[in-house]
């Protein structure tokens, strides 16, 4: 198992990963599996909490990143989608009916995806990383980094109440939507108000679901975003929405209240009881044009690796983490320094594997939300969402 | 970013805040304009005063006071 070493009193690692979400844990695991010494820090005391996510992720996303779909984190299996327009007309894409035998709950068939509990999911991913040799420090906030003359860098950390410095060849900013790590290197990471979906969701009891992710489009319910009803296991459901604040007059809370009480689902929601409140920001933004600097790269939400049509970022965080971990392992094992120039290879690998497609998705999203006529925009979003999740979708590979 | 607006001091109502980080994500300030609770800074004056944080907050947890009109309260 690779270990840190010490120079004087300073601890030295090959890689310091900041953030232990899907992006950080995956980057750390792939790098450690290749034999590098990796420290992953998170300021949280409990992984995945507070929850800022609905937890929908495809079977393929887990499979591609070597994550076994464990009952430890799965809350409910998903078999398809129901996409609604603002008036309640729906398109159901149920893979149990489209490809019977292949998708389903019976023996030999598999689910299309899952709703996961992010507390347990993030902990599971961290355990995988830890078993691959990653050192994990919780209650450890990264405060800044400094490039050193010898081609490495040092990272200032606050671990519980102690301020310490560790030395590394490269720092990975996997610090999520509120990323500060990029700013340390002068990368502009703040997200435009017009490109951040402001989201709120309730975990509820008393709302029936059918193994489908339900997506409700329409300016009336969620301007610049959509509303959702996801199965949450044990008879629970998630009801939530994301709105673009520059496209509406009120905040997400007002819209969620309206969705519960006034939408075509109001009868269905009549007896729902709210058990948990969660929220967050989803960057429906272009990926960062620059995701690297000397001794530093950004991965996941921090680099805005989010699907700007669906707002999904778990799949893309896992995939980018794998690309980043493998790239850094190859670079460091080659003995080449982690200069900005050399780290561009990470960005190029990411563009080829998924980034170019993410840029295309962003353009599709932008075109829809730039449409001034609301009826037209609603129609486009409904059509695009329906198309996105269909079996023969042109976006399938993204 | 240049702004001709008066500097403001934000206040986050701790119990209303769901600690989602959206306010920090849209903040155009330099690194470190965050409180220890993953929200926008509450102990420093903001001279940009774009109000993005206050607008994006899903639960209206953020309010502000204009610095010059509240000097007595701030210092
Ligand atoms: C309401 C909502 C619903 C969503 N639903 C879905 C969904 O159903 N499916 C889906 O695929 N995606 C969904 N997303 C998006 C998804 O949650 C994110 O894209 C995903 O979590 C990004 O992973 P990440 O690893 O990049 O960052 P995160 O999971 O955000 O992890 C970042 C970590 O970095 C840590 N950190 C930050 N700064 C520091 C620091 N200075 N020092 C130490 N640690 C630090 C944080 O504590 C955090 O643990 C949703 C998002 C929201 C807001
Ligand atoms: S946007 Fe509002 S709810 Fe979210 S962290 Fe900031 S103050 Fe709290």
Using alpha carbons, list the distances in angstroms from residue A325 to A58, A246, A345. Answer: 21, 37, 12
Q: What is the pLDDT of residue A10?
A: 80
Q: What is the pLDDT of residue A7?
A: 64
Q: Is B69 on the interface with A (CB under 8 A)?
A: no
How many separate domains does chain A show?
2
Closest ligand 2 atom, residue B18 Cα: 3
Say if A386 falls within a structural domain.
no
CA distance A281 to A283: 6
Q: A176 and A126: one domain?
A: yes
Q: A41 and A102: one domain?
A: no
Question: Quick check: B58 and A183 CB within 8 A?
Answer: no
Say if A342 falls within a structural domain.
yes
Say if A61 falls within a structural domain.
no
CA distance A80 to A94: 4
CATH code for position A242? 3.30.9.10
pLDDT beyond 80 at B73: no
Q: A136 and A176: one domain?
A: yes
Question: Quick check: A279 and B25 CB within 8 A?
Answer: no
CA distance A324 to A307: 18
Q: Residues A379, A385, A387, A392: what is their CA dihedral angle, to the nearest 10 degrees? A: 180
Q: A29 and A124: one domain?
A: yes
Q: Which tens digit of pLDDT belongs to each residue from A287-299?
A: 999 999 999 999 9
Which region, left, alpha or beta, applies to residue A393 given φ > 0 means left and ψ of -120 to 50 means alpha?
beta
Contact A15, A31 (CB under 8 A): yes
Q: A153 and A297: one domain?
A: yes
Q: What is A230-268 written as a DSSP string?
A: EEEETTEEEEEEEEEGGG-SS-HHHHHHHHHHHSTTTTT
**10 Å Cβ neighbour count for A163?**
10
Q: What is the pLDDT of residue A4?
A: 75
Q: What is the pLDDT of residue B69?
A: 55
Task: Return the half-sphere exposure (C-beta side, CA atoms, 13 A cut-off) of residue A101.
Answer: 0
The ligand minimizing its distance to the Cα of A47 is: 1
Give percent of chain B above pLDDT 70: 85
Q: A186 and A329: one domain?
A: yes
Cα A164 to ligand 1 centroid, rounded to whole Å: 25
Contact A395, A315 (CB under 8 A): no
A234 exposed, middle or buried (CB, 10 Å; 0-12, 13-18, 19+)? exposed
CATH code for position A144? 3.50.50.60
Q: A359 and A308: one domain?
A: yes
pLDDT beyond 70 at B74: no
Contact A279, B20 (CB under 8 A): yes
Say if A387 falls within a structural domain.
no
A216: containing domain: 74-116+193-284
How far is A178 from chain B, CA to nearest CA, in Å? 4
Which DSSP category does A316 fall into? Answer: H
Q: A140 and A277: one domain?
A: no
User: Which residues 21-40 in chain B show a CB within 8 A of chain A?
Assistant: 21-22, 24-32, 34, 38
Say if A256 falls within a structural domain.
yes
Q: Which residues of B touch A253 (CB under 8 A)?
A: 58-60
How far is A198 from chain B, CA to nearest CA, in Å? 6
Which of B15, B25, B28 to mutate against chain A (most A CBs within 10 Å)? Answer: B25
Say if A379 falls within a structural domain.
no
Say if A376 falls within a structural domain.
no
The chain B residue lying nearest A249, using CA atoms, is B55
User: Which residues 187-246 in chain A show a CB within 8 A of chain B?
Assistant: 190-193, 196, 198-200, 245
Structural domains present in chain B:
8-74 (3.30.70.20)
Q: A240 and A342: one domain?
A: no
Q: A299 and A315: one domain?
A: yes
Q: A229 and A361: one domain?
A: no
Which residues have C-beta within 8 Å of that of residue A242, sequence separation ≥ 6?
A: A197, A198, A199, A222, A225, A226, A252, A282, A311
Q: Which tens digit of pLDDT belongs to each residue from B13-71?
A: 999 999 999 999 999 998 889 998 889 999 899 999 999 999 999 999 999 999 875 44
Q: What is the pLDDT of residue A3?
A: 64
pTM of the model as a whole:
0.96
Cα A388 from chain centre: 18
* Pairing between β-strand A56-58 and β-strand A113-116 as defined by DSSP bridges: antiparallel
CA distance A339 to A343: 6
Choose one of A284, A300, A330: the last residue of a domain. Answer: A284
How far is A151 from chain B, CA to nearest CA, in Å? 24
Q: What is the pLDDT of residue B75?
A: 43
Residue ranges of chain A whose pLDDT lies below 70: 1-3, 6-9, 396-398
The chain A residue lying nearest B17, using CA atoms, is A279
Contact B22, B57 (CB under 8 A): yes
Q: Which residues of A touch B60 (CB under 8 A)?
A: 251, 253
B20 pocket-lining for ligand 2 (C-beta < 6 Å): yes
Choose one of A231, A252, A284: the last residue of a domain. Answer: A284
B12 pocket-lining for ligand 2 (C-beta < 6 Å): yes
Cα A144 to ligand 2 centroid, rounded to whole Å: 23
Q: A157 and A248: one domain?
A: no
Q: What is the pLDDT of residue A5?
A: 76
Say if A394 falls within a structural domain.
no
Q: What is the pLDDT of residue B29?
A: 93
Which residue spans within chain B are E strands per DSSP? 8-12, 62-66
Choose one of A284, A305, A326: the last residue of a domain. Answer: A284
Which residues have C-beta within 8 Å of that of residue A9, sequence separation ≥ 6?
A: none
CA distance B37 to A31: 31
CA distance A234 to A36: 41
Q: What is A271-282 written as a DSSP string?
A: T-EEEEEEEEEE
């Amino acid at each position: 198992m690779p270990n840190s070493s010490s120079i004087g009193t300073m601890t030295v690692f090959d890689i310091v990963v900041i953030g232990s979400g899907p992006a950080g844990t995956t980057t750390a695991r792939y790098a450690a599996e290749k034999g590098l010494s990796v420290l992953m820090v998170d300021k949280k005391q409990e992984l995945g909490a507070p929850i800022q996510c609905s937890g929908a992720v495809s079977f393929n996303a887990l499979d591609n990143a070597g994550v076994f779909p464990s009952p430890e984190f799965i809350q409910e299996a998903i078999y398809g989608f129901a996409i609604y327009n603002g008036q309640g007309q729906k398109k159901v894409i149920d893979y149990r009916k489209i490809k019977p035998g292949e998708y389903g709950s019976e023996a030999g068939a598999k689910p299309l995806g899952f709703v996961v509990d992010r507390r347990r999911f993030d902990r599971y991913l961290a355990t995988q990383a830890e078993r691959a040799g990653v050192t994990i420090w919780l209650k450890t906030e990264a405060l800044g980094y400094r490039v050193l003359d010898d081609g490495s860098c040092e990272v200032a950390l606050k671990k519980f109440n102690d301020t310490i410095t560790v030395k590394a060849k490269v720092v990975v900013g996997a610090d999520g939507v509120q990323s500060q790590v990029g700013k340390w290197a002068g990368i502009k990471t703040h997200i435009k108000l017009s490109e951040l979906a402001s989201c709120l969701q309730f975990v509820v009891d008393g709302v029936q679901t059918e193994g489908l992710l339900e997506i409700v489009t329409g300016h009336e319910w969620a301007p610049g975003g959509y509303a959702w009803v996801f199965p949450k296991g044990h008879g629970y459901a998630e009801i939530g929405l994301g709105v673009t604040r520059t496209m509406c007059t009120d905040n997400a809370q007002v819209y969620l209240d309206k969705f519960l009480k006034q939408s075509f689902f109001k009868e269905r929601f009549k007896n729902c009881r709210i058990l948990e409140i969660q929220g967050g920001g989803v960057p429906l933004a272009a990926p960062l044009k620059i995701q690297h600097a000397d001794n530093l790269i950004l991965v996941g939400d921090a680099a805005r690796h989010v699907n700007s049509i669906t707002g999904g970022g778990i799949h893309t965080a896992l995939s980018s983490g794998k690309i980043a971990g493998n790239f850094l392992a190859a670079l460091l094992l080659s003995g080449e320094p982690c200069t900005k120039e050399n780290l561009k290879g990470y960005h190029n690998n990411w563009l080829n594997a998924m980034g170019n497609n993410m840029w295309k998705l962003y353009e599709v999203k932008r075109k829809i939300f730039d449409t001034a006529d609301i009826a037209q925009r609603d129609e486009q979003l409904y059509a695009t969402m329906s198309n996105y999740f269909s079996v023969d979708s042109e976006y399938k590979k993204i | 970013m240049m702004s001709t607006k008066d500097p403001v001091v934000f206040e986050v109502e701790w119990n209303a805040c769901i600690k989602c980080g959206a306010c920090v994500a849209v903040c155009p300030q330099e690194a470190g304009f965050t409180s220890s609770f993953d929200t926008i800074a509450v102990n420093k004056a903001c001279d940009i005063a774009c109000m993005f944080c206050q607008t994006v907050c899903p639960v209206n947890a953020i309010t502000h006071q204009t610095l010059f009109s509240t000097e007595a309260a701030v210092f």
